[in-house]
Structure 1
Amino acid sequence: MYKIKKVDKKVAIGAGAIMLAAFLWSLDGIFIRPKFYVLPASLVVFLEHALGFLVLSPFIIISWPKIKLLRPKDWGAIFWVCVFGGLIGTIMITKAFFAAMDGEVTFATVVILQKLQPVFALIMARLILGERLSKKFYLWAGVAVAAAYFLAFGKTGLMIGEINLFHSAAFFAILAAFAFGSSTVLGKRIVNHLDFKSTAALRFGLTGLMAFILILATGDLFKTGDLQAVHWRLLVLIVFTSGAGAIFIYYFGLKRVTASQATICELFWPLSAVVLDYILNKNVLNSIQIISTLVLLMAFFQVIKEGRAEEVVFTAGVVNGRGRGKRIGFPTINLDKVDLDINYGIYLVEAALGGKVYRGLIHFGFKETYSESASLELLLKDLIPDVGREKIKIKIIKKLRDIKRFKNTEELKKQIEEDLEELK
């Protein structure tokens, strides 16, 4: 009998959050961002990030004990997202539209090329994060991208022949697509290892600092006097909607879905833009756009349903630990694979070593009770002799829970006993 695959509730909530963020970005593009076209793009980027950071900065204070324990690989991802997603991407897409205003190319060139973003993201998610999704997922992802194109250009046609790849507008649009697509992927790496609130705060703080250095170097800082009262009101609005607010919501969602799912869900942006155009400007959708809307909605559903990554399997070597687990009655095997691109947490696993397969648990993440950096530790149901430096193959079955901070060792031991019940 055919079994219908259910939609994971957590994934559905995450996808919904990303679509909400995309909706807020569409509002920004239609109603807010055009009001700033008289100002340097880098100045606007600095102001919206500086104000956003003021709102989000308390999360850095709260999570500082974890932030200072992040590994270089995580910091590399943070800086990439700040430079490309927060700074370069925003400036490049703005410059792309400005460059298209000279009349030598149509705005279609910018829009079509910028929509290469999910293509970049899907490729990088596979290469960098190792996301392996089903063939059905990639099929529906392609359908979603195609539907988004037809939705955007349903009335005028795709106008592929009008694309001028040698114009500066095309270069800026492609760079923006790469910047935003790569930021989705590296952003996923960050939220795997840090809470979404702190991730949003770090992004706004570091991007604001980089933007400040840029406007100081270019002299755009001194154009702050050109801002009128309406600009300041709009900047405050951006902070709580399409700026810090949207990124806060976006990272909440990204924590719960794969990067590949996230980049497709971001296509809710053009969908909401077309719908808003219909509601506000009475621009009626034609038959192609209506069909594209229905297809895109179906593609969203299928991408959410089919987006579960293939099982995670990896091989790790044994390293020396502190012996703390043995002292409290739960001896663990410390492993060297501490840079996995999966969420921190406690997982149910199968471990292959010595020609046998054992059921067990792994702890992957910060040792919060002891305020120590991330570790990967294996606790087996059946005690085994010293494994020496043997390589162990781990297959993750499912995530049991997030990592918690316990008041004392007794609370920790009680939780471990409860976790071990999952092995029965």
Structure 2
Amino acid sequence: MFKRLKINKRTALGAGAIMLAALFRSLDGIFLRPQFYTLPAVVVVFLEHILGFLVLLPWLVKRRWKIKVLSRNDWFAIIGVSVLGGLIGTVFITKAFFAAFGGQITLATVILLQKLQPVFALILARIILKEKLPAKFYVRALLAIGSGYVLAFGQDGLNVFSIQFWHHAAFYSLIAAFAFGAGTVLGKKVVNNLDFQLTAGLRFGITSILAFIVLLVTGDLGSISLLTPHHRISLVIIVFTSGALAMFLYYFGLKRVKASQATILELFRPLSAVILDYFLNGNILTPAQMTATIILLFAIYQIVKSQNKLVSFSANVVHGQGRGFHTANLDVINLELPHGIYLIDMSWKGKKYKGLMHFGYRATFHEAISTELYLANFDGDLYRQHVKVTVQKKIRDIIEFPTAEALKAQIAKDMEQVK
């Protein structure tokens, strides 16, 4: 099916996960978060994150050795995701929606400005991740964003006179849009080097700590006592829908697609909200919304359609660990590839050699990320040599083996696929 649709299976799974996460998040704004508008926003953010962290804690414990070998840049990115996407984005969008629910600002203002998130994400993906995209991608992105607006504002359309740009809550929404966009980009940087489970768990844990500090500083910690039994039930529902579960799915998807693709896929959220509105309230889509739905789905399909481009890079061969594995260790560990074992071609001094590439953590030895080549029919010394590698396809994930001998046996088995 994926071949007929010209969609890479991995990309399709990632896109589906992000769209499902968007569906869960649409529940949040419609049914769940409005129930808390009488409480300080940071209280809600703290509680949903600490509960989510407890749910995700088993994955952190199981993979704690990976946390120990994270680089400084990885920690900067994780903390950035937690500060921007976790704390600032969630607090400010919550405050903006609370202001709308309390009648201080029109809901249209909040939605209009929050929908700028993809714009911020696309700009930052280009600057930070160096994601180079063809012009037609941006055309499709604009179509998707425009369709998202039509879906979000429903049958009444957007009344420009209702937009209160200079209200403080409008700035809350704008700040949230930037923070979430930046969170998507930094999140992609994190999941390139870390499991999606760990990424979600660390984000929830660090955000919980940051939110707790804010509660202490603002003196709002006592507001937790104002929670009613109904609030507590809603918090549990948030954790297992729009909170921890949605973030778990989101990072699963983000590991498989580009940040620029992910931010467009999140536009499925207004469509899912309209669908829920139909099933729960019986509100039928207007012709304009039906047209927008078709355009949005078409744009999303075009955006996730596989490119089938081979990844190539150059690197220098450096010293390895000396464990008896006949590998060429490379000095490049920031590849825009999922961790795993790949079939590759290596070019050196005008000749090509086939083999395997390990890219990711040395799971068997609980060590940091490495890029290593296992070459077939090669007998020579590549130390300090400059080589070019072309990645053909991924054949499996990285596995933690009980012994080095078991790892060697698997490598021998993997080498049988080298032709």
Amino acid across the alignment from 1:372: E
2:39 match: secondary structure: coil
Contact 1:144 1:296 in 2 (8 A): yes
1:194 match: secondary structure: coil
1:323 match: secondary structure: coil
Aligned partner of 1:323 in structure 2 is 322
Contact 1:345 1:402 in 2 (8 A): yes
Distance 1:229 1:257 in 2: 40
Amino acid across the alignment from 2:412: E
Amino acid across the alignment from 2:409: K
Aligned partner of 2:398 in structure 1 is 403
Q: CA deviation at 1:111?
A: 1.2
Q: CA deviation at 1:160?
A: 4.7
Q: CA deviation at 1:189?
A: 2.3
Amino acid across the alignment from 2:117: Q
Contact 2:319 2:383 in 1 (8 A): no
Amino acid across the alignment from 2:261: Q
Aligned partner of 1:333 in structure 2 is 328
1:422 match: secondary structure: coil
Q: Output aligned runs, 1:112-127, within 5 Å.
A: 112-127=112-127
Contact 2:34 2:101 in 1 (8 A): no
Distance 2:15 2:192 in 1: 16
Distance 2:97 2:312 in 1: 45
Aligned partner of 1:147 in structure 2 is 147
Contact 2:34 2:97 in 1 (8 A): no
Q: Output aligned runs, 1:128-277, within 5 Å.
A: 128-160=128-160, 163-277=163-277
Q: CA deviation at 1:60?
A: 0.9
Amino acid across the alignment from 2:227: L
Aligned partner of 2:362 in structure 1 is 367
> Would the alpha carbon gap of residues 128 and 341 (structure 1) be closer, same or farther in structure 2, given more than 3 Å must change?
farther
Amino acid across the alignment from 2:116: L
Specify every segment of 5 or more residues in structure 1 that has no aligned partner in the other structure, as ranges. Answer: none
Amino acid across the alignment from 2:13: I
Contact 1:133 1:310 in 2 (8 A): no
- Deviations along 1:393-419, one digit per CA (max 9) or x if unpaired, are 222222121111222233222221222
Aligned partner of 1:386 in structure 2 is 381
Contact 1:78 1:187 in 2 (8 A): yes
Distance 2:159 2:343 in 1: 52
2:155 match: secondary structure: coil
Distance 2:394 2:276 in 1: 40
Distance 1:210 1:77 in 2: 15
1:318 match: secondary structure: strand
1:423 match: secondary structure: coil
Amino acid across the alignment from 1:262: A
> Would the alpha carbon gap of residues 399 and 131 (structure 1) be closer, same or farther in structure 2, given more than 3 Å must change?
farther
Q: CA deviation at 1:162?
A: 5.4
Aligned partner of 1:314 in structure 2 is 313
Distance 2:10 2:294 in 1: 24
Distance 2:152 2:52 in 1: 31
- The number of residue pairs the alignment matches comes to 417
Identity percentage of aligned residues: 55
Deviates more, 1:10-19 or 1:208-217: 10-19
Deviates more, 1:80-89 or 1:292-301: 292-301
Amino acid across the alignment from 2:322: G
Q: CA deviation at 1:297?
A: 2.0
Q: CA RMSD in A?
A: 2.3
Aligned partner of 1:282 in structure 2 is 282
Aligned partner of 1:344 in structure 2 is 339
Contact 1:116 1:177 in 2 (8 A): yes
Distance 2:308 2:173 in 1: 30
Distance 1:123 1:291 in 2: 28
For normalisation by structure 1, the TM-score amounts to: 0.91
Aligned partner of 1:377 in structure 2 is 372
- Deviations along 1:127-165, one digit per CA (max 9) or x if unpaired, are 333334455444322221111112223433334565454
Contact 1:134 1:309 in 2 (8 A): no
Contact 1:133 1:309 in 2 (8 A): no
Amino acid across the alignment from 2:316: G
Q: Tell me, yes or no, if structure 1 residue 109 matches structure 2 residue 109.
A: yes
Contact 1:132 1:309 in 2 (8 A): no
Q: CA deviation at 1:95?
A: 2.4
1:351 match: secondary structure: strand
- Deviations along 1:38-59, one digit per CA (max 9) or x if unpaired, are 0000011011111111222111
Contact 1:131 1:309 in 2 (8 A): no
Amino acid across the alignment from 2:361: F
Aligned partner of 1:21 in structure 2 is 21
Distance 1:202 1:169 in 2: 29
- Deviations along 1:75-102, one digit per CA (max 9) or x if unpaired, are 1221111111111001111223345579
For normalisation by structure 2, the TM-score amounts to: 0.92
Contact 2:353 2:378 in 1 (8 A): no
Aligned partner of 1:357 in structure 2 is 352
